[in-house]
Structure formats: C-alpha cells, structure tokens
Amino acid sequence: MQVGALVITPTRELALQISEVMGQFIQKFPQFTQILLIGGSNPIEDVEKFKDQGANIVIATPGRLEDMFRRKADGLDLASSVKSLDVLVLDEADRLLDMGFEASLNTILDYLPKQRRTGLFSATQTQELEKLVRAGLRNPVRITVKEKGVAATAVQKTPSRLSNYYTYVCMCGVLRPSSGDSGEEGQRPLHPRQDENQTQQDLADFRALKSGILVCTDVMARGIDIPDVNWVLHAFVHRCGRTARIGNQGNALVFLLPMEESYINFLSINQKCPLQKMSPISDVVDVLPKVKAMSLADRAMFDRSMRAFVSYVQAYAKHECSLIFRVKDAGAEGETFPDFTETTVDTDTIRYKDKNREKLRQKMLAEQKEKEKTDLPRKNFIKNKAWSKQKNKKDRRKKMAAKRKHDEGSDVDDEDMKELLNDTRLLKKLKKGHISEEDFEKRITSKAKSKHKTASHDGSGGEDV
C-alpha cells in the first residue's frame, strides 16, 4: 500500500492529537487508513503493524520516522511505500528546527519524491524556516491567517478576548504533590520523560475534569488544544496561546522578578503584546517551612529540589532574551546569593522513604567511607577557609615560584639571545658576500672555543685544592 500523506510534528502529544482528529475524518472514509509512529511506543510493533495493514496517512515524530526509514533488517521498506507521496505536512515547522530535528528532517526528505505538495505550518516565521522554504520548496506560496475584522497594521497581536497580566514575585515554583496520587486533587503532570501510555492517560483525564491543574513543560507550548482553559501561568508570553482559543475568554499571567521590568516594554514594542500589571496578593501563605519539612522527611524531595535549583539557573543562562534575563541579576553568577541562609542540617542524614533506595544509599555511603580510608593520605585543605580562596592562594604561589625561576635564569637567557643574534648577523654577511666562508668558519669556531673555556673555568671553580 502506498502512503499518500505524511504529517510530521515536533512532539508526541501533538502527533496524538492530530491522530485523534484524523480518526474522526477517516470514519467517514473507510477506504483510507492511518498509522501513528512516535517515540515511546514499541518500534517492533510499529513495524509489524505497518507490514500487515499498511497506511494511506502516516503521522509521526522525526526521530521515529527516521528510524523507520533506516530499518531494513525487519523486512520493512518504508522508502518504497512513499514513492508516490502526494502531500507532506510539517506542523509547527519552526519548532521542528528549534528542537534540533534539522538533521532528521534532511534525512527524511532524501527518501521522499521531489514532485509533491508540501505544507509548512508555523505560528512564527524564523530565519531557519525561511532557509527551509528556499531550499526545500518549489514555487512556494505564503498563506497568512489573520483575525477577521482586524487591520494588518494593528498594534496588538494577541487575541482580543485574552487578558494578559504580569506580576512580580520573589520566587515562583510549582511542586509535585508528595502524596504521589494527584488525581484526587485534580492535578496532572506532563513532561517528556513520562511513559507514552501515562501521557495519553493524563491528557485524557485532564480534558475530562471540570476543574483542574496541569503542570507541564514545553511539550504543551504549541499545538495542543484543550478547550475552556481559563488561566495559563507561565514564564514566557508565547504560552498564552493555550487559552482564549477560537474566540473564547482567557487569562494569562507571567511571573517576573522586579529587575526584569524591561521585559514588559520589550513585549509591548517588539512583540506587539501589551501586558497589564496585576497587583501582588498580600495575604499569602509562607510555604518555605513546609517545603523544608518535606525535603527533610524524604530524600527524594531533597534530590528534586537540587535539580530544580539547577534548572532555575539554566533557565536564565539559556534564555533567548539574555540581555534582560541575566544570570548575574538572579545571583547565580556570583559567589553568594544575597538572601541565602546557610543551614546546619547534615544532608547525609536525610533518608529516603523508599526502603530499597535508602538501603542502596547506605551501601554506597559505606563503600565511599571505606574507599576514603584505603586511599593514600592527601594534603587536607583548611576546613575553615573557602575552597576557592585556598585554590587562589595556591595559584599565586605557583606564579611567584615561576617568576623567581625565570629571574634566576634571565642572565643566561640574555647571553644566549646575544649569541644567536651575532650568529645571525654573520650568516647574513656570508650570504651577501661581505665575508668569506673561511672567515665565517673561523669566527664561529673561535666563539665556540671561548665559550668552552669559560664553561671549564666555571666548573673547576668549586673544586678543593
């Protein structure tokens, strides 16, 4: 069976949604079939399903599709099935390039026929996308979708029924419930490391909830459509597109630090996206003691908090607006954090609630202590001084020793340099014919003899007579 249409998306969640919508259309046209090829599923099962049933429409993520094209040992020849491909769709094309799928896309395009219709769908037009259009499309036509009744030169680019807010906070974080069962509270997590079946189940459960909270990473940044989302809490304005869809009312809130106020002006001027300031709530609950108690009660929570801190720093280090969101303003680049208070808790005493994990940790600690006993004794650093200060002091000592060594040998170096210059001058005179070869040999020989006599005299000066 020949494949007539191929749809490529950057994320599994978006591919699942497209497959669900496509299934509703295919019900009316039973002569057509579709197959979903995404990461997280069993590739052997995908191969067997395609070999047995075939498909007129393939919906896939780049990594899995590239893998399917390369598979030859399993008796699958997907390349021969796409020779008559009529339509290629790259959904969220700019995200496909941003997420590092450019190499996979180039490999996939090599398998596809040149005579085809290609559709690139994207919310933003990036430079990489323009390059792809010029290199991979013949006779391209641009179709721009605009809001009905809004002029092309409109100042605001966000939906008219979207209320876009920002507020200042000292620190904003979302914690995973420690109970492990978040379903009773209407909370659902969503991230790329989840099992595929779990991801589908969480999305389905969240859609079925009358009221709930979905805590997710950027896998929900584009394309995923969940109806009637009232609020989006995020750190970047593009995520507001998850609400106020298709003319519905919605609200979005961006969390910022006080020194990041210039980001509001940037969005208003550069992105044509004005934001309203929301007054911070004065009556708030101090959750920091509770978070500390949770970390002390279970080492798993303590480990997650350390990873969260690294993510917090990386979010600033890799932010697209690095001139506004600067690492040093967050305190992450300096030696200390201004509001940091050192704790007296011995972190090695924090135990896992999971008995198996704790047993393994204790075993590793015992092995580490035993290894420290058997290792050769090393020079210990002074405990009451910072390691960085000790290292700087050691580096200064090395530099001073190197300088002394250089000064001691500086006279010899100067003599050698003078001798080398004289030899060079003699060689130039010989080449120009100012001296003969016999004179050149005599001068070089006489210098060597005088140097040898001087060395012999210096060597005998220390002997007893």
Secondary structure (3-state) at 238: helix
The DSSP result for 291-351, as a single string, is: HHHHHHH-HHHHHHHHHHHHHHHHHHHT-S-TTTS-TGGGTSSSSS-TT-------GGG--
Structural domain includes residue 142 = no
Residues 328 and 265 in one domain: no
Residues 224 and 265 in one domain: yes
Residues 10 and 132 in one domain: yes
Residues 63 and 101 in one domain: yes
Structural domain includes residue 403 = no
By the 8 A CB rule, do 156 and 269 touch?
no
Task: Select from 284, 299, 324 the last residue of a domain.
Answer: 284
Mean pLDDT of 27-39: 92
d(CA 258, CA 251): 22
Mean pLDDT of 333-352: 75
Residues 237 and 314 in one domain: no
Structural domain includes residue 177 = yes
Q: Whole-number mean pLDDT of the chain?
A: 78
How buried is 98 (Cβ within 10 angstroms: 0-12 exposed, 13-18 middle, 19+ buried)?
A: middle
By the 8 A CB rule, do 102 and 128 touch?
yes
Percent of the chain past pLDDT 90, that is, above it, reads: 20
Residues 97 and 198 in one domain: no
pLDDT of 376 > 60? The answer is no
Structural domain includes residue 396 = no
Helix (H) or strand (E) holding 168: strand 162-168
d(CA 256, CA 247): 28
d(CA 348, CA 268): 49
Between 159 and 344, where is the model more confident?
Answer: 344
Task: Select from 349, 374, 399 the last residue of a domain.
Answer: 374
pLDDT, position 11: 86
pLDDT in tens, 403-458: 776 665 545 456 666 777 777 777 778 777 778 888 877 777 776 666 555 555 55
d(CA 104, CA 39): 14
pLDDT, position 214: 83
Residue written as token pair 């012999």: 456
d(CA 217, CA 219): 5
pLDDT of 133 > 70? The answer is yes
Residues 228 and 313 in one domain: no
Is this structure's pTM higher than 0.75? no
pLDDT of 465 > 60? The answer is no
Domain with residue 181: its CATH number is: 3.40.50.300
Residues 303 and 322 in one domain: yes
Percent of the chain past pLDDT 70, that is, above it, reads: 77
Residues 258 and 311 in one domain: no
Helix (H) or strand (E) holding 163: strand 162-168
Query: How far, rounded to the nearest angstrom, does the alpha carbon of residue 254 sit from its chain's CA centroid?
Result: 21
Residue 331: which domain range? Answer: 290-374
Between 177 and 25, where is the model more confident?
Answer: 25
pLDDT, position 169: 66
Q: Give the confidence band of 176 by pLDDT, cuts at 50, 70, 90.
A: very low
Residues 169 and 129 in one domain: no
Between 148 and 190, where is the model more confident?
Answer: 190
Between 125 and 398, where is the model more confident?
Answer: 398
Structural domain includes residue 148 = no
Structural domain includes residue 155 = no
pLDDT of 15 > 60? The answer is yes
Structural domain includes residue 232 = yes
The DSSP result for 43-83, as a single string, is: HHHHHHHHHHH--SEEEE-HHHHHHHHH--TTS--HHHHTT
By the 8 A CB rule, do 120 and 129 touch?
yes
pLDDT of 12 > 70? The answer is yes
Q: Calculate ∠ Cα 99-105-106, nearest 5°.
A: 125
* Number of structural domains found in the chain: 4
Between 184 and 137, where is the model more confident?
Answer: 137
| Torsion angle, alpha carbons of 225, 229, 235, 238, to 10 | 40
Task: Select from 220, 251, 284 the last residue of a domain.
Answer: 284
Residues 169 and 272 in one domain: yes
Residues 60 and 182 in one domain: no
d(CA 129, CA 10): 14
Structural domain includes residue 324 = yes
